[in-house]
Structure 1
C-alpha cells in the first residue's frame, strides 16, 4: 500500500538529522535493489517526490530516523526544538550518538510539556522556588552552600548509605521534594540506542512550574549523585541545557566545582594529596576516599587536579584507567546477568527510572480525569496498556 500526502522535504530532513547519507539510510531501512535500481537510487526518487514509499517502509523510516510517524505528514520542515544551551565539550560532535541524544532530548521536552500542562490545570500547583534562586552567582563555594541549604542536604546521612545507588536515592528524594522531576534516562527506549556518558551526563530544563533533570543512567552509578547536584546547580542558576565532556566552559566549571564542594570537603582532597606518590598505589588511595564519600574515583582524581595536587596529564591517565576498569566490570556484570534466568521486574525498573515525582503527577491526573491513559502513556514514555500497572502502588512486604 502506498501512502499519499507525504512531504518529500520531510523525508530528506528526517534522514539528514538522523546523521545518515542515502547509502546508509537505504541499508538501515532495508530498501533493497529492485529492477536494476539500487536502494540508494530508490530512496533518492522518493525524496524527489517521484515515488511514494509504502506504509511498511515509512514505519521503518520512522524507526531508523527516530521520528514519530506523523512527522512525515507535516506541511513543512519543523523549526529546531529549543533545547537550551549545549554546555558540553566534545571531541566529535558528529558522533552518531549525538543524533540519539537529540532524539532523547526531544522526547524529554515533550514529556515535560505534558507535565507542565497537567500542573497548569491544578489550581494548587505553585512555581518551584529553587529555579533561578541563585541566578548571577559565580562563586562555587557560595553556590555549594545554596545547594546544601536549599535541599537540606546532610553529607553524613548521604555517606551513611552503603551503595552509591542508595546514596543517589537520598539526594533524589531531596530534589524531588523541592518540586523538581528527576528522571534516569540514557537511551531512546531500547538497549541498542544507549547513549554513552561521554556524549552526555545530564540535562536540566529550567522551568519554574515543571523543572526537569535527566541523569544518564548509562554512566557509573557512583557518578549519578554528582551529576544530579551538577544539574541542580544549573537550575539554581536558571540555566537550561545539556552537560557532558570536559568542564571547560565557565558555567560548567562553576556547576562542577559547586557539586563537588557539596559532596566532599576540600580538606579531604588535600589530605589525600599528601599521601600520593605518583605510583600504582595512588589508585588504591583514591578508591578509599571515593568509597567513603560515595563518589566516583574519576571525580576524586579531577578534584586532585583542580586543587593543583596532580597535573592534567596524571588526571587524564587516572580518569582513563578508572573508566577502562569500570567498562570491564560492567561487561562482566552483563555477562553474569545474561546467564541468569529472568531478570528484574520491568515495572520496578521503569518506576525507578521515572522517579516518584512524575509518577505522582500521572496518578493524580488519572484519578481526577485530567489525564487520559494515552496522554499519561506519553508523559511516562510507555504504552497505554502499561499505564495502570505502572501507576499501581507497589505492595510493601509484611512481616
Structure 2
C-alpha cells in the first residue's frame, strides 16, 4: 500500500509529548507496528493514509497538520485560554487537555452557527460592573443581573447564566470524551472570552455541589475576567482570587437575607444531623449543606469546630459516584452536556438547512438520527 513520505515526525513527537505519551505508546494504541513507528520517527519511512488519519484523529488534529514542515508553534496550536489553564495546572491529564480543546471547538461551532442564523436572538454577554474587593456586594449585583428567584436548582442557575450569554457545559457521567473521571480532582473550568465565555462543570452525584462550582467559575469571568481551572483545593482556598471567587459564590447562592430563615436554636449537637436540619433550605436554594454552613461560619453563627466536625463526617460518608447507568434517555444527553442554548442553536441551524443531519449529529455528541429526532421533540415540549 502506498505510503505518504512527507510526514513531519517532529509534529508527531510534539503531540505525543503534549499528551504525555511516547511514540511507542501511540503505536500500541493505534495498532501500528512498533518498528513502523520507529522508522517514521527516524524519518526513514512514511505512513499509509489510514494510519495518518488515525494519528490525526487521536490527537484531534487535521491530517495536514502532520504534513506541514517546521516545528509546532504552540501559540498557533493552543489558544491563550488553553495555555492559561495549562499553566495554572501543569499536571493536567492528556484527557482533560483534550476536553478543554473540545469545549473550545464547540464554542467555535456555536458562534459559526449563530452567524449563519444571523438574527437568532443569541443572548449577548454584557456583564455588570462589579466591585473587585467586595464579594458580598458583587454577588448581590450579579444575583440581580441573573434575575434569580429565592427557590433554585442547578438547572435554574444554569438557565440564568446561559440567558446572560455564557455557555454552560457539564461533563458527562458516562465514560467517554465528555467525561471528567471521578478520581480527577478538577471540578470545573471557565474559558474567558469578552463576547462568549464558557463554563464547564464536572458532573457530580450531588447537583447542589455543581451549583457552587458554576458560581465559582462565574466569579472568575465577572470579577477577574480571566480563564481558570479549579479543583477541590481551590474550592476551599482562603487565598487570592480563589478566596474572592469562593466568597462571591457563597454570597450569591446564600445571601445574608436567606440566613434569617435558619433557626440556630434547632441546630443539632451531632454534626452528622446538620444536613437533616438544613434539608428544607438546601432543597429550596439548590445548594449543599456545606455552603450554608460556611455562610453561617462567616457570619459568626457557627463555630469552626462545628464546621470541622461536619467536614469530617461528610468525608467519611461520601457517596461514591457511579460510572454507569441507564441510557434510556440518550436523546437528552446533549442537552445535559451542552446546555439548552447550544442545543437549540444546532437544531435551529438544522431546521434552517444550514447544516445536514449528519453534521448536527456530530455537533451533538454523535447522536443517532433517531435520537436526534427525539431530542427535537423533547426541546419542543412534545
What TM-score results when the alignment is normalised by the length of structure 1? 0.74
287 and 198 in structure 1: CA distance in 2 versus 1, 3 angstrom threshold:
farther
Q: How does 1:191-270 map to 2 (within 5 A)?
A: 194-196=180-182, 198-218=184-204, 220-237=206-223, 239-245=225-231, 246-247=233-234, 248=237, 250-265=240-255, 267=259
Tell me what 1:284 maps to.
273
Counterpart CA distance in 2 for 1:225 and 1:189 is 22
Measured after TM superposition, the shift of residue 236 of structure 1 is: 2.5
Counterpart CA distance in 1 for 2:31 and 2:319 is 32
Aligned 8 A contact 1:183 1:355 in 2: yes
379 and 53 in structure 1: CA distance in 2 versus 1, 3 angstrom threshold:
same
Task: Write out per-residue CA displacement over residues 220-261 of structure 1, whole angstroms, 9 at most, x where no aligned residue.
Answer: 422111122223333323624233122345222212211111
Asked whether 1:110 is paired with 2:109, we answer no
Counterpart CA distance in 2 for 1:220 and 1:181 is 21
Tell me what 2:347 maps to.
363
Counterpart CA distance in 1 for 2:63 and 2:206 is 34
Counterpart CA distance in 1 for 2:29 and 2:164 is 44
304 and 10 in structure 1: CA distance in 2 versus 1, 3 angstrom threshold:
farther
Tell me what 2:42 maps to.
48
Counterpart CA distance in 2 for 1:208 and 1:58 is 37
What TM-score results when the alignment is normalised by the length of structure 2? 0.77
Counterpart CA distance in 2 for 1:370 and 1:238 is 37
Report the 3-state secondary structure (helix = DSSP H, G, I; strand = E; otherwise coil) of the residue aligned with 2:186: coil
Q: How does 1:74-223 map to 2 (within 5 A)?
A: 74-75=68-69, 77-79=72-74, 80-83=78-81, 85-86=84-85, 93-94=90-91, 98-124=93-119, 130-134=125-129, 137-155=132-150, 157-158=151-152, 167-186=153-172, 190=176, 194-196=180-182, 198-218=184-204, 220-223=206-209
Measured after TM superposition, the shift of residue 104 of structure 1 is: 0.9
Moved more, 65-74 or 224-233: 65-74
Aligned 8 A contact 2:172 2:178 in 1: no
Counterpart CA distance in 1 for 2:261 and 2:48 is 62
Q: Which runs of 5+ in 1 are unaligned?
A: 33-38, 159-166
Moved more, 77-86 or 300-309: 300-309
Aligned 8 A contact 1:197 1:219 in 2: no
Asked whether 1:344 is paired with 2:349, we answer no
Aligned 8 A contact 1:186 1:215 in 2: no
Counterpart CA distance in 2 for 1:365 and 1:125 is 10
Aligned 8 A contact 1:140 1:254 in 2: yes
1:322 to 301, 311, 314: 314
Task: Write out per-residue CA displacement over residues 117-136 of structure 1, whole angstroms, 9 at most, x where no aligned residue.
Answer: 23234543678565442355
Counterpart CA distance in 2 for 1:56 and 1:26 is 13
129 and 388 in structure 1: CA distance in 2 versus 1, 3 angstrom threshold:
closer
Counterpart CA distance in 2 for 1:311 and 1:9 is 55
Counterpart CA distance in 1 for 2:226 and 2:303 is 32
Report the 3-state secondary structure (helix = DSSP H, G, I; strand = E; otherwise coil) of the residue aligned with 2:190: strand
Counterpart CA distance in 2 for 1:87 and 1:291 is 40
Report the 3-state secondary structure (helix = DSSP H, G, I; strand = E; otherwise coil) of the residue aligned with 2:113: helix
Report the 3-state secondary structure (helix = DSSP H, G, I; strand = E; otherwise coil) of the residue aligned with 2:210: helix
Measured after TM superposition, the shift of residue 270 of structure 1 is: 9.4
Measured after TM superposition, the shift of residue 109 of structure 1 is: 0.9
Tell me what 1:296 maps to.
288
Q: Which runs of 5+ in 2 are unaligned?
A: none
CA RMSD for the aligned pairs?
Answer: 4.0
Aligned 8 A contact 2:157 2:211 in 1: yes
Task: Write out per-residue CA displacement over residues 177-219 of structure 1, whole angstroms, 9 at most, x where no aligned residue.
Answer: 2333222125897179643475422233333443322212256
Counterpart CA distance in 2 for 1:241 and 1:100 is 19
